[in-house]
Amino acid sequence: MSELPVVLLEERRCADGHILAVATLNSERSLNSLSLEMIDLLLPAMQRWASDERVVAVFLQGAGQKAFCAGGDVRRICVGVRENGIEDPYAQQFFTAEYRLDYLIHTYPKPVIVWGQGIVMGGGTGLMCGASHRVVTENSRLAMPEISIGLYPDVGGSHFLSRLPGRLGLFIGMTGVNLNAADALYAGFADHVLEGERRELVVAELLALAWSADATLHAAQVTGLLDAGERPLLAASALQAHEAVIEERTSGAGLADIYKALTAPVVDDAWLDRTAKTLAKGSPTSAALIHRQWLRGRDMSLADVFREELTLSTQCARHPDFIEGVRALLVDKDNTPRWQPATLDAVTEAWIDGHYVEPWKGEHPLASL
């Protein structure tokens, strides 16, 4: 008996004859981590639904209760480079397809509801942040933890982190801090919060909705339906409680000052001290890339963000820290990455500039965005 596909695609008929498209990332064992195989199923389906007049909205979810999507298939990239060298094509293929999907979700002509239950990290955050209706539940845990694997918050992070109030996006990116549901709402990563057990009920309510003949009103109808649900009790937002100190610790004039402040131990605040330790243990190259992307992203169009991120991500797979970070955390699992360069002082502007050099010849793979 063959296994179920890694993405389940359904077209459920609404009471009034319209179609609600439901897509389920279906790899519970990997916490629904996004693979190229998943993208190759989901992207054409969403393109088809975008032009199908019967389809009123897309509901995107992860199988099971533990995770919506715990990230991208970075382990496969690491293995490919270790086996075949930096010319291995998988990294560019994966990131090109992933960013094309993310861009489509950001610009989708119909409501996209993402049910962000459980773990939402990295590539999962990219899928969620582009959606028109982003739902968290009482057990949601969001993060952009790329500092720990020698990458940077990609999947559009240059766009959405740079547009958060103050220096909040810089803090989230550099420290890889874990966010609960209240944090996600405060930071603008989510729009709605509902009890996790209400997922099937929400789908049933969408199917029962009397969808307007005017498609421009569908987004408001979905908003009204989600807002009508009872909000669960949530743990407080540590992000909001630390707003003032976050601004203070990120207020330095340059990267060196900010890094020094953010890595300073905090004896009387366990939450803040964890963020300091995460950054201190992370890749110095990643810290420099994150700082630069935060500065640059606010002035770039969404399409240009994804084009630049494709260059950066493909180059990261050709530079040592990304492969070393994934090796240490996910492949060999010794948790002792050896970063090159080993300290922020040794990270030069020329070294970071090299990550911005397009590694391909001819037209940019995402020129058509």
| pLDDT of 1 | 39
Q: Give the pair of three-digit tokens for residue 70.
A: 């715990």
Domain boundaries, the chain: 7-356
pLDDT in tens, 104-141: 999 999 999 999 999 999 999 999 999 999 999 999 99
**Does 2 have pLDDT greater than 60?**
no
DSSP element (H, E) containing 59: strand 55-62
What's the whole-number average pLDDT of the chain? 96
Residue 72 falls in the annotated catalytic set: yes
Fold classified for 7-356: 2-enoyl-CoA Hydratase; Chain A, domain 1 (3.90.226)
pLDDT in tens, 140-197: 999 999 999 999 999 999 999 999 999 999 999 999 999 999 999 999 999 999 999 9
**Amino acid letter at 80?**
G
Q: Which residue is catalytic, options 72, 116, 126, 282?
A: 72
Residue 150 falls in the annotated catalytic set: no
Residue 227 falls in the annotated catalytic set: no
Q: Which residues pair with 69 in a beta bridge?
A: 120
| pLDDT of 11 | 98
Conformation bin of residue 252: beta by default, left when phi > 0, alpha when psi is -120 to 50: beta
The pTM of the full predicted model, rounded to 2 decimals, is 0.97
Q: What is the mean pLDDT of residues 19-38?
A: 97
pLDDT in tens, 192-241: 999 999 999 999 999 999 999 999 999 999 999 999 988 999 999 999 99
Collapsing DSSP states into helix, strand and coil, what is residue 57? strand
Q: Which residue is catalytic, options 73, 154, 183, 308?
A: 154
pLDDT in tens, 331-367: 999 999 999 999 999 999 999 999 999 999 999 999 9
Q: Which residue is catalytic, options 62, 123, 157, 282?
A: 123
Q: Give the pair of three-digit tokens for residue 329.
A: 């955390």
| pLDDT of 234 | 95
Conformation bin of residue 143: beta by default, left when phi > 0, alpha when psi is -120 to 50: beta
C-alpha torsion angle, residues 73, 169, 235, 265 (rounded to 10): 100
Beta strand extents in 144-200 (DSSP E only): 192-193
213, burial (CB in 10 Å: exposed 0-12, middle 13-18, buried 19+): exposed
Find where tokens 């970063």 sit.
339
Task: Considering only CA atoms, give the Rg of the chain.
Answer: 20
Q: Which residue is catalytic, options 138, 146, 309, 324?
A: 146
Other C-beta atoms lying within 10 Å of the C-beta of residue 360: 11
Contact between residue 43 and residue 97 where contact means Cβ atoms under 8 Å apart: yes
**Does 4 have pLDDT greater than 90?**
no
Residue 254 falls in the annotated catalytic set: no
| pLDDT of 230 | 86
